[in-house]
């Protein structure tokens, strides 16, 4: 089964032309030469401005065009691979057929994960939302490159998504919201903190602000018995489970990463 999963994921990466990159210095040297611009300098400037302004300029740099976003995806190769494996496992182990249903990817960035979900559920309607317009443009181009017809993207702030979708109901909502505690930002690995805008990392004093808001508001655009699935920090699963329980979610369970940490929390809404 693991080999089959790896084949599915590998074929997806191959279709997009995403190549794994591990060495940060070598990675930036290659993309600076390839794009004939100093992306390293642009990114360093965005990182310097990030904490004061809390804006999405880093996303604007790494999603400036399709080729650049693909290059950065190679640096995130392992993270994508692990996230995709969770989705495949969820599809294989969950007995409700989500194919033909409505799925929302909340905070979809460049749409790579959204398109992977669309491949897994070819008869479902998949919607990806993110407030970064350049990321949404890349997402649309990625869907076109893959020939995925069952996905669409909208430039929407996650904090306002309840108003945007107040007339729609989803069977599954997936989200990887900001979950880093404010005090922990400076100590993050460079692979994370150098490539993410401040407001895509910081989840408040305890790292749970977005989980509280999304969980509470998801009730208004999630069908009864609908599913809410989160990626969480390595020590946050129990807190997120409690938040979900307080908002009417049942049958909550977790999935672990390769290190044994509970990194995915999944629950079913019962109204």
Q: What is the DSSP string of 200-242?
A: GTB--SSS-HHHHHHHHHHTTSEEEEEEEEEE--TT-HHHHHH
CA atoms of 170 and 213, how far apart (whole Å): 17
Per-residue confidence band for 201, with pLDDT thresholds at 50, 70 and 90: very low
pTM, 2 dp: 0.83
Instruction: Check: CB of residue 207 under 8 Å from CB of residue 153.
Output: no
pLDDT category of residue 96 using cuts at 50, 70 and 90: low
Task: Find out whether 227 and 173 touch, Cβ atoms under 8 Å.
Answer: yes
To which H or E segment does residue 254 belong?
A: strand 249-256
User: Tokens 């909340």 belong to which residue?
Assistant: 106
**What per-residue confidence (pLDDT) applies to 24?**
77
Helix axes 66-75, 77-93, angle to 10 degrees: 80
Answer yes or no: are the C-beta atoms of 88 and 121 closer than 8 Å.
no
47 or 245: which carries more pLDDT confidence? 245
H or E element: which one contains 9?
A: helix 2-16
Mean pLDDT for the chain overall? 81
E strand spans, 12-169: 102-106, 125-130, 151-155
138-189 residue pLDDT tens: 999 999 999 999 999 999 987 777 778 877 899 999 998 754 444 444 443 4
What six digits make up the tokens of 217?
Answer: 């508001």
* pLDDT score for 203: 39
Query: What integer pLDDT is reported at residue 38 of this predicted model?
Result: 63
Q: Give the C-alpha separation, 185 to 56, whole Å.
A: 16
Q: Is the model more confident about 218 or about 205?
A: 218
- Work out the widest C-alpha separation in the chain, in whole angstroms: 55
Lowest mean pLDDT among 75-89, 123-137, 169-183: 169-183
Question: Nearest to residue 264, comparing CAs of 88, 59, 6?
Answer: 88
């Amino acid at each position: 089964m693991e080999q089959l999963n790896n084949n599915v994921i590998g074929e997806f990466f191959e279709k997009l032309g995403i190549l794994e990159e591990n060495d940060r210095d070598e990675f930036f040297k290659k993309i600076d030469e390839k794009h004939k611009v100093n992306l390293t300098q642009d990114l360093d400037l965005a990182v310097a401005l990030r904490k004061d302004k809390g804006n999405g300029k880093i996303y604007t740099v790494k999603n400036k065009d399709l080729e650049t976003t693909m290059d950065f995806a190679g640096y995130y190769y392992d993270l994508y691979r692990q996230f995709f494996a969770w989705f495949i496992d969820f599809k294989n182990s969950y007995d409700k057929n989500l194919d033909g249903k409505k799925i929302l990817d909340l905070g979809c960035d460049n749409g790579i994960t959204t398109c992977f979900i669309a491949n897994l559920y070819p008869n479902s309607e998949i919607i990806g939302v993110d407030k970064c317009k350049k990321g949404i443009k890349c997402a649309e181009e990625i869907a076109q490159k893959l020939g995925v017809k069952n996905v669409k993207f909208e430039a929407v702030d996650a904090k306002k998504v309840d108003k945007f979708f107040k007339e729609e109901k989803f069977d599954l909502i997936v989200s990887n919201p900001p979950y880093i505690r404010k005090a922990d930002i400076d100590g993050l690995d460079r692979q994370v903190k150098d490539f993410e805008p401040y407001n895509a990392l910081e989840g408040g004093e305890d790292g749970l602000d977005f989980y509280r808001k999304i969980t509470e508001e998801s009730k208004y655009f999630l069908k009864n018995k609908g599913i809410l699935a989160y990626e969480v920090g390595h020590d946050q699963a129990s807190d997120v489970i409690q938040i979900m329980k307080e908002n009417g979610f049942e049958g909550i369970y977790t999935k672990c990463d390769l290190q044994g940490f509970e990194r995915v929390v999944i629950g079913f809404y019962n109204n």
